Amino acid sequence: MDTILEIAIQIITRIETLHSIGDIKPENFMIGFPQTKQYQTIHLIDFGLCQRYRNPYTMQHFSPRSHDRMVGSILFMSINSHFQLKQSRRDDIESLAYLLLYFLNGKNLPWNTNYSANNVLAKNNPLEHCRKVGSIKQSLTSDQLFKDHPKVFAHLLR
């Protein structure tokens, strides 16, 4: 638990830094090499999906828009992403909550099903599969998701 809390603090700090200047999934974070000063430091990588969320001159937020493709990893993407809505900083925190839940549950998420019916749907109609997973996420409250874990994690989704 201490390790997951330390990971959460470092990831929130990295996301906050990124926002002051995208896609959150385990592969976007690296830990420094052993026997170096960076060994216990988490680094954020891969900014391929990053976009401006506000006008750099006026600092006004851009209006929400929809997009016509899936953006991010289906396990960790925010509910907005499942329904092709433009992401914001809030969506990064939601993705972080799912990432921490993944760690807390030993890589098990309520929507991470490997049933053959879901695999067929994912292959034949990925957009419909994406929406189905989004509906599962929508149906669960933060308290339900983190019921066996400290309440601080559920607060990320409020």
Q: Which two tokens stand for residue 108?
A: 């098990």
Give the β-pairing of 29-31 and 42-44. Answer: antiparallel
Q: Is the pLDDT of residue 91 over 50?
A: yes
Q: Is the pLDDT of residue 116 over 60?
A: no
Choose between 72 and 58: higher pLDDT: 58
Q: Which helix (H) or strand (E) holds 29?
A: strand 29-31
In the block, tokens 């999906």 appear at 49
**CA 5 – CA 65 distance, rounded (Å):** 34
Q: Which two tokens stand for residue 77?
A: 């993407």
In the prediction, which pLDDT does 11 show? 85
Burial 112-143 (b: 16+ CB within 10 A, else e): eeeeeeeeebeeeeeeebbbbbbebbeeeebe
Q: Is the pLDDT of residue 112 over 70?
A: yes
**CA 122 – CA 49 distance, rounded (Å):** 22
23 is annotated as an active-site residue = yes
**CA 61 – CA 91 distance, rounded (Å):** 14
Domain 2-157: which topology? Transferase(Phosphotransferase); domain 1 (1.10.510)
Q: Kindly name the residue from 2, 23, 68, 91 that is annotated as catalytic.
A: 23
Confidence bin at 30 (pLDDT 50/70/90): confident
**CA 155 – CA 158 distance, rounded (Å):** 5
Report the range of poorest mean pLDDT among 79-88, 110-119, 149-158. 110-119
In the prediction, which pLDDT does 142 show? 96
The mean pLDDT of the chain is 80
Report the range of poorest mean pLDDT among 50-54, 74-78, 111-115, 145-149. 50-54
